[in-house]
Structure 1
Amino acid sequence: MSALARHALAELLGTAFLVAAVVGSGIAATRLSPGEPGLQLLESSLATGAVLVALIIAFQPVSASFNPVVTLVERALGRIGGTDAAVLVAAQVAGGAAGAVVANLMFGLDAVALSARTRDGGGVLLGEAVATFGLVLVVFGALRSARAETVAYAVGGYIVAAYWFTSSTSFANPAVTLARTLSDSFAGIAPASVAAFVLAQLAGGAAAALAVRLLHPLPVPAPTPQEAP
């Protein structure tokens, strides 16, 4: 198997498990804590942060972005080529969709049930841009630190916090956003809300890429298997 195929498989599997955790924990939270949205958010945020730590540690030796924005910033910083970026983004989107379907089936729901949960408004979209901006800074800042292996804990901790301090509950990931349209549950997002969410995420990622260049002006080294975010 070629290196790119291995990277794509890692991105597909990792994103699938990430979305399964996001959607599955949302469904479980609504069943375990009906009528308590704050507790539901706490349960889902802890599950998502924990699974991110585990998945990044497990897949980091191959590839562990699980996020098209992170992959595109890698491309902008010259860490990967254009073809590689396109293949990895496609794998992330496919993996996210598979994860949502599996989560629905695990909880006895239809494999695909388009979400009716509208998420819109200027404040919510600003929250998505802020969440994505911060995530990219955390990922690439952690990778440039003296202990790059701590990126898993940095990302997991940031996402748990961003569930709470952003008005959008921090999707911060186009592949996850698209996948969450497939589940009409606590974690879902209506298809009509997706375009604005993704644009906000891309804007936040682009601003963060510029910030990373300013904060870390030295050339970014070519990725090694142990450095994949």
Structure 2
Amino acid sequence: MSSSIPLGRRVAAEAVGTAALVAVVVGSGIQATQLSHDVGVQLLANSLATVFGLGVLITLLGPVSGAHFNPVVSAAAWGSGRRGQDGLSTREFAAYVPAQIVGAIGGSVLADAMFAQPLVRWSAHGRSAGHLWLGEVVATAGLILLIFGLTRTSRAHIAPVAVASWIGAAYWFTSSTSFANPAVTIGRAFTDTFAGIAPASVGPFIAAQAVGTVVGLGLVVALFGRPAAAESDVVMPHDETELAAAPSR
């Protein structure tokens, strides 16, 4: 990878970013159920918090690690970059994914702690049905198409708004409420709250996300063609020069 930022810092950014994302998702879900008994209002509060939180996290940590926060994004970046010298290397991919999963679990525990919930309690919220898996395929395919489509058209700089907007929209138009992220799915199994998912439902959800990744990459090729060079700026460009150019205030 072309980034001059040490791998340790990038891995830390992935862990912290994924932890914060899951804390936002789980914490806002808990808060929503405490403030309202209307399921629609609960989902609205949960989705809005996720949109704003995700946008902020991508903006903040994108210049450090690319702000993947998601194993399927890292896997797609690794697979797309194997043809060139600037893609996510196998070593980097192997470091990113565990950091994302550990971060997601930590974020779930943190959210439970903030709301005086049991720190770890397996979710009883079963989400096992074909239409939910289809929703995950659609949400994940759309996410991959969006991220790599922006990269192909040199518009990765709008990823904070675009990616957050897609996830927010998919909360409402997909049956699964758009997990679209294996690490987040695993993390949400550790909390028996509004945002939780039963451990037995995790495997099929991740399988659907994997299918969605393949579909999304296929759509990228169909719509934008095969890349002439490796795609390294996924989700956001990450380079020391960009950090140095950032406002100091």
- TM superposition score category, shorter chain reference: over 0.9
Partner of 1:86: 94
Aligned-partner residue type, residue 33 of structure 2:
T
Taking a change above 3 Å as real, the CA distance of residues 70 and 25 of structure 1, as seen in their structure-2 partners, is: same
- The separation in 2 between residues aligned to 1:41 and 1:133, in whole angstroms, is 22
8 Å CA contact retained: 1:180, 1:188: yes
TM-score (normalised: structure 1)? 0.95
After the TM superposition, list the runs of 4 or more consecutive aligned residues in structure 1 that deviate by more than 4 angstroms: none
> CA offsets per residue over residues 67-123 of structure 1, 9 Å max, x none?
000000001101211121111001000100000000000000111111000001110
TM-superposed CA distance for 1:147, in Å, is 3.0
TM-superposed CA distance for 1:146, in Å, is 3.7
Partner of 1:18: 21
User: Match of 1:119, SS?
Assistant: coil
Partner of 1:32: 35
Taking a change above 3 Å as real, the CA distance of residues 222 and 209 of structure 1, as seen in their structure-2 partners, is: closer
Partner of 1:126: 134
Aligned-partner residue type, residue 171 of structure 1:
F
Partner of 2:43: 41
Identity of aligned residues (%): 47
5 Å-filtered alignment, 1:171-186, equals 171-186=179-194
8 Å CA contact retained: 1:12, 1:96: yes
Unaligned 5+ residue runs, structure 2? 82-86, 239-249
- The separation in 1 between residues aligned to 2:144 and 2:61, in whole angstroms, is 18
5 Å-filtered alignment, 1:39-78, equals 39-63=41-65, 64-78=67-81
5 Å-filtered alignment, 1:76-155, equals 76-78=79-81, 79-155=87-163
Q: Does 1:198 align with 2:206?
A: yes
- The separation in 1 between residues aligned to 2:22 and 2:227, in whole angstroms, is 34
8 Å CA contact retained: 1:143, 1:227: no
Unaligned 5+ residue runs, structure 1? none
TM-score (normalised: structure 2)? 0.87
Counterpart of 1:223 (choices 222, 227, 232) is 232
Bigger radius of gyration among the two = 2
Q: Does 1:7 align with 2:17?
A: no
Counterpart of 1:160 (choices 168, 173, 195) is 168
Partner of 2:220: 212
Partner of 2:247: none
8 Å CA contact retained: 2:77, 2:231: no
Taking a change above 3 Å as real, the CA distance of residues 2 and 137 of structure 1, as seen in their structure-2 partners, is: closer
Out of 116-125 and 139-148, give the one that drifted further.
Answer: 139-148
